[in-house]
Amino acid sequence: MARATGPRYIVPLKRRRKKLTDYAKRVDLLKSNKPRMIVRKSGLHILVQIASPSNEGDKIIAQVSSKELGKYKWPDKCNTPSAYLAGYLCGKKALKAKINAAILDAGLQTITAGNIIFAAVKGAQDAGVDIPMGEGMISEDRLNGTHIAEYAKSIKGTEKYDKQFSAYLKAKIKPEELPELFEKVKKELGGSNV
């Protein structure tokens, strides 16, 4: 009897090798047949999308980048309040497209309590989209930037303050007044015709 020759291993798919896609998790998400809320974070921005699966590929129904928040005078940052506002705006766009519920697709990101991903989910929930999330995944005082304002007050007048909050100061925004700005921007987003 002849023996088989060649390698006895299976090469994983390219996107799995590059750590871009977890196919088992993706299949589970697609089997639910619900729209997915996709949250991705880079070093500078947060991208929030609502996508619906189809045979031709995912169809993006609503999409918001934290860059868009600049239109509302919000400093473009990759922080918890920015994630919340991006999720809130995406939720408003999803409701306009008649999407009332979705499930979270965090991709290969590590899921831990307090993660920026949950700030985006909380924003979409507050906009009116039903997305399941466990209790206590994000602290309410972190959503509006209170933690940033308190830290800014504690180091105000130092060189570290000027360096760390240079982007805020350049945009003529006082970081210790961030919670008030947050509420103002959220109110504008709630009343805007997205």
CATH number for position 64: 3.30.420.100
Asked, for residue 10, whether it belongs to a domain, the answer is no
H or E element, residue 37 = strand 36-41
pLDDT of residue 114: 87
DSSP assignment of 145-185: THHHHHHHHHHTTSHHHHHHTHHHHHTT--GGGHHHHHHHH
- Local confidence band at 21 (pLDDT 50, 70, 90 cut-offs): confident
Residue 19 φ/ψ, nearest 5 degrees: 60, 45
Q: How far apart are the first and last CA of the chain?
A: 70
pLDDT at position 15? 85
36 in any annotated domain: yes
Number of domains in the chain: 1
91 is in which domain, residue-wise? 18-191
Is there a domain that residue 151 lies in? yes
Which SS3 state, helix, strand or coil, does residue 192 take?
coil
What's the mean pLDDT in 46-54? 93
Percent of the chain scoring above 70 in pLDDT: 94
Tell me whether residue 3 is in a domain. Answer: no
Q: Give the number of other CB atoms < 10 A from CB of residue 75.
A: 21
The predicted pLDDT at position 48 comes to 96
Residue 192: predicted pLDDT: 65
For the cut 90, the answer to whether the pLDDT of residue 101 exceeds it is yes
Domain contains 6: no
One-character DSSP codes across 44-94: S-EEEEEEE--TTS-EEEEEEEGGGGGGGT-----SHHHHHHHHHHHHHHH
Is the residue at 87 inside a domain?
yes
Tell whether 45 is covered by a domain.
yes
**Model confidence, pTM:** 0.86
Q: Residue 116: helix, strand or coil by DSSP? A: helix
